[in-house]
Amino acid sequence: MTVHTTVGIIGGGPAGLLLARMLHNAGIDSVVLESRGRDYVEQRQRAGILEQGTVDALRACGAGDRLDREGIVHAGIELRYDRRSHRIDFPSLTGGRSVTVYAQTEVVKDLIALQLREGGPLLFEAPVHAVEGAGTDRPVIRYTHEGREHTLGCDWVAGCDGFHGVAKHAVPDGVRTVFERAYPYSWLGVLADAPPSSDELIYAHSERGFALFSMRSPAVSRLYLQVPNGTDPADWPDERIWDELEARSAVDRDWTLHRGPITAKSVLPMRSHVTEPMRHGRVLLAGDAAHIVPPTGAKGLNLAAADVIVLAQAFDHLKRTGSTELLDAYSATCLRRVWRAEHFSGFMTTTLHTDPGQSPFDSRLQISQLDRIATSPHAAAELAENYAGLPVV
């Protein structure tokens, strides 16, 4: 096993794998350490909406073949509220941009296959215990693999190991500032063997709570319901889920909800979280290790991709010029986009969800905001531009 590498990458999710691939293409060596097994990583259900910038990055690094064959391009979303519906057309409001439905599981499978075939070491079931020496020019990662303790020396460490990972703890408490918001509701997410009920995503606001209609393929629907925090999925039998989806998406026109067997259920808590700075010494944080957004704005995976695009460019600049200028600016560069995404995700969440005990006044403010989006090209363009994805830098 390699005992020294230029970039030690903690986390074999989409952020870590995309970074490893871009570094490989730039001629920069790396080692990826993932605490879970390959099967678990490839089946971990998360995001499914890719911004154009994320799609372009996957294509550029050689991971676009299956994405281009199987990904479903969406040119808009539908908002439903007060038994009305309004479509937001992305290309006309953003200068031609769109989004692509392609599940995180498939992105990860494609990147793993490339890394194992062409890239540097990718170790599964290799949990990291500590990152030491962040403030030195030779940080060290300590991890376990195949029952033995190992040490990996690095020039740099990229922490892509998520919200519960160890990398962010390399940033001392006295240096790190945490900003966060908790939401008083969660999502019940389900997969169903049913064709999507709409060609595009439906975001539905109602007095009963929020609902989202998405998809994973032409035969599989991905659906979400707002539920109280602490909800047990077992309390939601299939028929109750379908009935609630239908009630929350009701509109005054013909529309059919396609029902089918539900194959998976899980509850997703909602939070906003940002850790500043995203760099300490030779340790750089990316993706969920540095920030969390509620999923309403479809920003999580795309923010992670934007982070590692900036990071890969900075490493390439260092290799070509010997200058750490872009690495020194990494945190500030990423945080500008992170906070914009936090604002947009929070806006989508609070506009579309119904708080427990919400007053009629607050409900009318939500309807007023949705009416504004439906009737003002400027308000619709603001939503479309943020949803389809702002420039990475």
Q: Are the C-beta atoms of 301 and 293 separated by less than 8 Å?
A: no
How many Å apart are CA 201 and CA 383, to the nearest integer? 14
Task: Indicate which residues carry an active-site annotation.
Answer: 74, 203, 295, 299, 387
Estimate to the nearest angstrom the gap between the alpha carbon of 216 and the chain centroid.
15
